[in-house]
């Protein structure tokens, strides 16, 4: 049975950053609770729904970095995609 590959340090750092993001975001939203508590219940619900979704936005570049080492998505003009777009076959 082959040995399992060790995860990269980048993935470990990414997991730590995701956990820190969640902790800090939750603390930030909780710190707003005294202000939000005075709002009508439906406005509170919309606020918490919005805040519960917004923290996901920074995850896409973070997960991309964990997987590829790059913060940006590759453009179609770069690398292999350029050759494929021109109809060339990769050999």
- Specify the pTM: 0.66
The domain locations on the chain are: 9-85
Tell me how many degrees the CA angle 27-30-31 measures, rounded to the nearest 5.
Answer: 85
Tell me how many degrees the CA angle 61-23-18 measures, rounded to the nearest 5.
Answer: 25
Enter the tokens of residue 33: 């609770």
Task: Express each pLDDT in 11-53 by its tens digit.
Answer: 899 999 999 999 999 999 999 999 999 999 999 999 999 999 9
Among candidate residues 53, 12, 8, the one with its CA nearest the CA of residue 29: 53
């Amino acid at each position: 049975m082959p040995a399992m590959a060790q995860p990269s340090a980048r993935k470990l750092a990414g997991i730590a950053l995701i956990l820190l993001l969640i902790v800090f975001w939750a603390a930030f939203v909780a710190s707003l609770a005294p202000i939000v508590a005075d709002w009508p219940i439906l406005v509170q619900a919309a606020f918490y729904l919005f805040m519960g979704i917004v923290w996901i936005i920074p995850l896409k570049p973070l997960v991309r970095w964990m997987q590829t080492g790059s913060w940006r998505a590759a453009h179609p003009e770069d690398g292999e995609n350029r050759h494929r777009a021109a109809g060339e076959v990769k050999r």
